[in-house]
Structure 1
């Protein structure tokens, strides 16, 4: 009897609840909406949340998709409803539907991945891999190339609060980053597979950014870690849709932060080594205006003395990202980032003599003070002299930047989607520094002045201070460019696959000069500059590719893009350092030049799912690098004879194959790669003195990469990656005469350059390894990371393998605790980081001062210097400029979070 009473009460309560909910929707409830939730490939998404809200937002109801991705919501009154679809790792998708009395509406939905950085989390959820969910970085089961996803969670917990993108990718396979002034405290240098900056693309939310004179990057002046929501790191030229000026070695795709659906305010204060301070404030609006509007604002201030002597900086920055949804298929996304960067970076590195003093392997001239790190002053002998060439007054670096875009997303019938992003950004670098060499006492003042055996070239403005202490000439340097462009892509999803076609266009105007100047006389400039130029560039890349779904397990992508780059220059007469005086030495006279470069870049790749958690892939892809503006930097005649033979774009061809496996407690991915790439160009002069450019002999880089994350227990994981590689010069190169070339016929080779086997490409380590232990449990994120970089070689730009850099290791430790209760103080966090935990000071780079023994080549009556050194390495020289790992840095951060009650 009691059991029957209990059942009766339960039934009565259920009936009452159903009646109340039904009444809250409307009086009559007999409409239904059903559908299936899929991803872009047509795979069903299980456990997706579907929320239906009545017009006006007065009532809502939520269901979950079943194992077949289906959902069904019945009992809806006639009217208009909004449906929101949410799944882990996918962007929020909204749809509207009209319910007619007594009828059923069918509404299938395709969700798009929120960002590439969330793709790993999506897969971890689908494959039930704990190891994948906890991996610091990981590959995707859908990978077509060696690709690593670095999430916002990694950036915010396992890098320093003042880090830049280089620190974020530092632990990835085959990659290393150096910054002699400390993490995030200067322009870092990042290499992977031996490719330096300028041989790979960096973009932000799909928009390429780079310097206009070479495709290098000023990433620290555009995108600090506070702006980053993740990184998609592709160590290959990518597919046809991979746009940018240098898809040569790979691409680093920076991603903005995803907008939060919950309102939140966070304030962060950080203090650390080298008197580093960071103050950061973030406001997330959450969803406003019935879910139509969402925004996030970040404002921060950073200042630091830096590790190096008097290399301090100040950064004030702010970013805003906002999105407005007009309806379920059309929305706008906008981003703006503004940075005001001031630094006092000297324009040179320390020498061996300054760093270590004299040694048995080399000699030092003069009394040179050390330049080793924070707190050690690098002064002249007369320390009382207020005019010191490292003083802030004589070394200033002022860089305001801004970066803006507006993204338009529109969905049409038959699963067509159009995305267009017009953008603009500006880089404005005004720099003044003393072009100095360490000195102690002067022997002469005017003419060629010698200081303890170190000769300093005279300047047209002699400067004397205190009679005997000479302050060498300074330099007034300026580089500014403004760019306007757009990226667009039209895609269409069908049962056959995904079509992608699009276009990238960019126009830029640049002004640059470098002028000798007097730092103690109000920076009075020399009449003729070292160079003074303006130039305009146009870049465009149309592309098309098709991702064929051959079977449910096998995909093949085939496509191509056309890369075109055009430059027009206006160069003013100079003091002979660049183009010369143009006959009159009048600084107002100028000469113009023009060049165009084009290349077709095809690609093909495939991915096969052996199982739902195991895939294999292969790729063949091509990339290129556009030549720098310096191709016109040679002594030009007043009549303006153009370059007879312009250099071609450097080309690369990459072949690679790999596999990705995700088990419950172990992830593993590995790849083999082989890239043949053309090295930078050289030139010879013809009979008229005009340069004839040619590419140096090609190189081949090849190797093996592997990484794994092993889940142990209770949030404890071990992460490992390792690479073994080799990059060497190969083959011969014949440069063919052109009409008018001295000493040869029209078909005879003018110069043949032989690249002896065994010479390594600079900055290509023989191996790299990363070992890490992480513990991620109940708000705790603790990680110990160690990176080892094997032996690598350094060049001086002409002679190869001159110096050997011994293996070096850097270890970092991170401790974080975050409140994740979902309450009012959600996201409050304590963050402690140690970079270079064991205070290592290994050498990471060597700018060669000595000259290697060389051999000459005689061709057609002319003698040329062989650009390859075949007689051994250059001996260690006390004047070599070297870089070392910055000393240990410790940062303590406290983030205060405030959220409304939910």
Structure 2
């Protein structure tokens, strides 16, 4: 552990020095990458012609910070790296009246492109217009924990830094943060932020939607799933842009058709500050966190950085599911000019846990050992927690440049790299069995292959999933009076090493042959182009095309027969796979009134087959399956009144499901893979926030939907697993001066579970989770600004619910009224071997933060 901590500090220090030295070096750059809070626009006269050399003043309505700009000869202006907030834009030009656009909402991670029309008149005339749809007039919108955008072209939710800091647990990860969004379903069985959690929504499971960090997609390399506990802890997240749709052609990633959870790092503050936090609570959970903001430093005051280092330890809610996390991140910003900024980010995390590979208890174990059972501490027992170890170091780095040029052109480039290395040792025995290690002549080394033949049941696993990914994202855009043109490329190259060896859990010695061992690399190219056309002042039409290309070079080594077998004496076999898809998109947004908009969208998406298509005897697959295809249609509306914010959407999605395998009956020839049954997902999502009184607001969202199989010869009409029929979310918040109080309830409706056989096997009833947060924060702009005392309660009512079941038994076919046997409709008897997903018990956390803020 000491070596790991030394590595962690070394990585953070080296990354810091690298970025600072690189940023401060006297090189000339033509790009910038900030937190993407960029404002660009064009100044037009009443006939739609560009007004050159107009003076543009951008003023933050909260801090009164002012930036003065001059439009170029084509009427374009731009301002980089604006802090999120509400702004007034004032435009003056000779021969025209002064025009003020007030209440312009700048959201972290969402660049704004605007056009401003001037009126002819003398310089004393002034015209005031609304900025971004009456956000400044809508008290309800300002107080809402989740924001909706009037210029949205799809169902979109914006989660602010304020909500993350005040109304989530200090140890929460991103899956718990996005639980507030309509329709989302997240459970971490070991407690908030204390295990690998996943989120599902609209019938899409983890791996069927994108997650990005500052616009960079991250995902596993065998399937595009994600690791919530190993990359981006809540301490690093400054906001979330959750797009519950495929987005447009410029939305990059391996699976954006389900949606995109866009995580945003915290902005680098311009003011010097130091904060130290201690959080302690249930399950002996302790978080120590230190943050440092440099403010503007260096001789030219163009460099600033922020740093976070933290350590988390916890026993976990489940028995003996201990966890330890040591992590550090640094973000550095260098301002070359008003039009060019460079940003660098580095995050390093080291995780150690006792979580077994199959980390769900059975009905029998819960009945025998209690609701929170996972592992035991019985000596010589194969499920003893001492035999279950995860060591997971990760890192994520990027350096980005963004630049604004004449004629409305801009360039945004981000090269990046990240890695994941999960090395596990665990037992795979579910029953209570005595464990000995007496060598025999037939079993001199204690290998698992001979353990079972000698009547010794315990068997362990030595498993590795390791990859390194490199890539870049680049976007070129041009803003004119007609609209915005965007084109760019996402490129990603990854190399992977995965294996699983049977292993003696006492000696740690591995079997000679693995269950599987594979190495491979993957190339991904996604070029795209789209145009956002301002057809009339209140209507924008956007169309585009993306080309998704994937190439894999795959090597599998001979194994013990579990996966590819002995390969007829060869050491390995090599396969090459290529997949491609053309993915169009089209959408429209119409502003009915300044505070009311409607939108519609069509988009297509795809996902390539998992690498397991090659997990067949001899490793040869002559006929590769095609990528899964998805078509999405949705429409929605956003309304913002003074004391009411309301938005809703309807979606219809046709999804070709995951892959199934067919083995020829004669045992000869290749295993064939084909797409499973199609499914249709459709539903309605609603969201509102009501301002009740000064500082007091009521928030609610709800969904009603379905995801069912469809088509001839398939289990038509049966539900896709883990798809609630409905969800509801409620929140009552009070925020005034130094006080932030909030109580939130998330109810997940009934759903069906299966074991991958496309049957409605087990019915799971609805459940509800209530969370409560109380905070006092110093917000008086004194030297101790940011000092805070907070108390959080997760699962306040201590509900103990079964929220998911993996059936142990196979379904029994149902006899139909005509006496025939249905191959699809079935029932499954409850079994003691059923694996259960359960809500964790109540957790309470006390947080104390000491903050010190220096002068600007």
TM-score after normalising by structure 1: 0.80
The 3-state SS of whatever aligns with 1:219 is: coil
Equivalent residue pairs, number: 762
Shift in CA distance, 113/565, structure 1 to aligned 2, threshold 3 Å? farther
What is aligned with 1:694? 674
Cα deviation per residue 1:516-540 (whole Å; 9 max; x = unaligned)? 001112x111011000110010001
The 3-state SS of whatever aligns with 1:462 is: helix
Which structure ranks higher in relative contact order (CA pairs < 8 Å, sequence separation ≥ 6)? 2
Structure 1 position 681, deviation (Å)? 1.6
Which of residues 640, 650, 656 is equivalent to 2:628? 650
Contact 1:269 1:895 in 2 (8 A): yes
Shift in CA distance, 296/627, structure 1 to aligned 2, threshold 3 Å? same
Does 2:797 align with 1:843?
Answer: no
Which of residues 392, 404, 418 is equivalent to 1:411? 404
Cα deviation per residue 1:535-583 (whole Å; 9 max; x = unaligned)? 0100010000001011111001100100011111111000111100112
Give runs of aligned pairs for residues 523-562 of structure 1, distance below 5 A. 523-562=508-547
Structure 1 position 373, deviation (Å)? 1.8
Does 2:279 align with 1:270?
Answer: yes
Contact 1:160 1:833 in 2 (8 A): yes
Does 2:78 align with 1:89?
Answer: no
Aligned-partner Cα distance in 2 for 1:38–1:511: 40
What is aligned with 1:132? 141
What is aligned with 2:558? 573
Does 2:304 align with 1:294?
Answer: yes
Shift in CA distance, 62/901, structure 1 to aligned 2, threshold 3 Å? closer
Structure 1 position 605, deviation (Å)? 0.4
Structure 1 position 628, deviation (Å)? 1.0
What is aligned with 1:217? 226
Cα deviation per residue 1:800-826 (whole Å; 9 max; x = unaligned)? 211111101111001111101111100
Contact 1:89 1:118 in 2 (8 A): no
Give runs of aligned pairs for residues 552-631 of structure 1, distance below 5 A. 552-584=537-569, 589-631=571-613
Does 2:845 align with 1:891?
Answer: yes
The 3-state SS of whatever aligns with 1:550 is: strand
Shift in CA distance, 341/182, structure 1 to aligned 2, threshold 3 Å? same
Shift in CA distance, 443/306, structure 1 to aligned 2, threshold 3 Å? closer
What is aligned with 1:506? 492
Which of residues 463, 471, 477 is equivalent to 2:463? 477
Shift in CA distance, 553/516, structure 1 to aligned 2, threshold 3 Å? same
The 3-state SS of whatever aligns with 1:303 is: strand
Aligned-partner Cα distance in 2 for 1:112–1:827: 24
**Which one is further off, 121-130 or 627-636?**
121-130
Which of residues 365, 370, 374 is equivalent to 1:354? 365
What is aligned with 2:726? 767
The 3-state SS of whatever aligns with 1:148 is: strand
What is aligned with 2:640? 662
What is aligned with 2:653? 675
Cα deviation per residue 1:109-135 (whole Å; 9 max; x = unaligned)? 99994623798x985874411111110
Structure 1 position 444, deviation (Å)? 14
Shift in CA distance, 178/336, structure 1 to aligned 2, threshold 3 Å? same
Structure 1 position 89, deviation (Å)? 2.9
Structure 1 position 354, deviation (Å)? 1.3
The 3-state SS of whatever aligns with 1:213 is: coil
Contact 1:831 1:892 in 2 (8 A): yes
Cα deviation per residue 1:856-878 (whole Å; 9 max; x = unaligned)? 9xxxxxxxxx9x95242211111
Does 2:59 align with 1:49?
Answer: yes
Shift in CA distance, 275/83, structure 1 to aligned 2, threshold 3 Å? closer
Shift in CA distance, 848/493, structure 1 to aligned 2, threshold 3 Å? same
The 3-state SS of whatever aligns with 2:334 is: strand
Aligned-partner Cα distance in 1 for 2:436–2:348: 49
Runs (5+) with no aligned partner, structure 1: 1-36, 52-60, 72-81, 94-105, 357-368, 448-457, 733-753, 857-865
The 3-state SS of whatever aligns with 2:163 is: helix
Contact 1:309 1:371 in 2 (8 A): no
Aligned-partner Cα distance in 2 for 1:336–1:792: 40
Structure 1 position 387, deviation (Å)? 2.9
Aligned-partner Cα distance in 2 for 1:355–1:870: 31
Shift in CA distance, 333/205, structure 1 to aligned 2, threshold 3 Å? same
Which of residues 681, 684, 693 is equivalent to 1:713? 693
Structure 1 position 841, deviation (Å)? 1.1
Shift in CA distance, 214/704, structure 1 to aligned 2, threshold 3 Å? same
The 3-state SS of whatever aligns with 1:132 is: helix
Shift in CA distance, 542/70, structure 1 to aligned 2, threshold 3 Å? closer
Shift in CA distance, 566/86, structure 1 to aligned 2, threshold 3 Å? closer
What is aligned with 1:362? none
What is aligned with 1:428? 421
Which of residues 248, 256, 264 is equivalent to 1:239? 248
What is aligned with 2:759? 800
Does 2:177 align with 1:168?
Answer: yes
The 3-state SS of whatever aligns with 2:449 is: coil
The 3-state SS of whatever aligns with 1:116 is: coil
Structure 1 position 393, deviation (Å)? 3.2
What is aligned with 1:29? none
What is aligned with 1:188? 197
Shift in CA distance, 531/83, structure 1 to aligned 2, threshold 3 Å? closer
Aligned-partner Cα distance in 2 for 1:112–1:789: 32
Contact 2:39 2:79 in 1 (8 A): no
Aligned-partner Cα distance in 2 for 1:659–1:398: 46
Contact 2:188 2:195 in 1 (8 A): yes
- For the aligned residue pairs, the C-alpha RMSD in angstroms reads 3.3
Aligned-partner Cα distance in 1 for 2:209–2:305: 32
Structure 1 position 625, deviation (Å)? 1.2
The 3-state SS of whatever aligns with 1:155 is: helix
Runs (5+) with no aligned partner, structure 2: 1-36, 45-54, 72-77, 90-97, 113-129, 441-446, 816-820
Structure 1 position 855, deviation (Å)? 9.2
Structure 1 position 657, deviation (Å)? 0.5
Shift in CA distance, 194/241, structure 1 to aligned 2, threshold 3 Å? same
Which of residues 632, 648, 653 is equivalent to 2:614? 632
What is aligned with 2:8? none
Cα deviation per residue 1:194-213 (whole Å; 9 max; x = unaligned)? 10001001010010000000
What is aligned with 2:683? 703
Structure 1 position 473, deviation (Å)? 1.0
Contact 2:394 2:419 in 1 (8 A): yes
Contact 1:215 1:626 in 2 (8 A): no
Does 2:291 align with 1:282?
Answer: yes
What is aligned with 1:56? none
Which of residues 312, 316, 319 is equivalent to 2:326? 316
What is aligned with 2:748? 789
The 3-state SS of whatever aligns with 1:525 is: coil
What is aligned with 2:376? 378
What is aligned with 1:877? 831
Contact 1:86 1:92 in 2 (8 A): no
Aligned-partner Cα distance in 2 for 1:410–1:890: 46
Shift in CA distance, 844/85, structure 1 to aligned 2, threshold 3 Å? closer
Shift in CA distance, 42/613, structure 1 to aligned 2, threshold 3 Å? farther
What is aligned with 2:505? 519
Aligned-partner Cα distance in 2 for 1:133–1:46: 26
TM-score after normalising by structure 2: 0.84
Higher CA-based Rg: 1
Contact 1:49 1:86 in 2 (8 A): no
Aligned-partner Cα distance in 2 for 1:127–1:893: 33
Structure 1 position 39, deviation (Å)? 4.5
Aligned-partner Cα distance in 1 for 2:538–2:82: 25
Aligned-partner Cα distance in 1 for 2:111–2:801: 36
Shift in CA distance, 123/782, structure 1 to aligned 2, threshold 3 Å? farther
Aligned-partner Cα distance in 1 for 2:705–2:137: 33
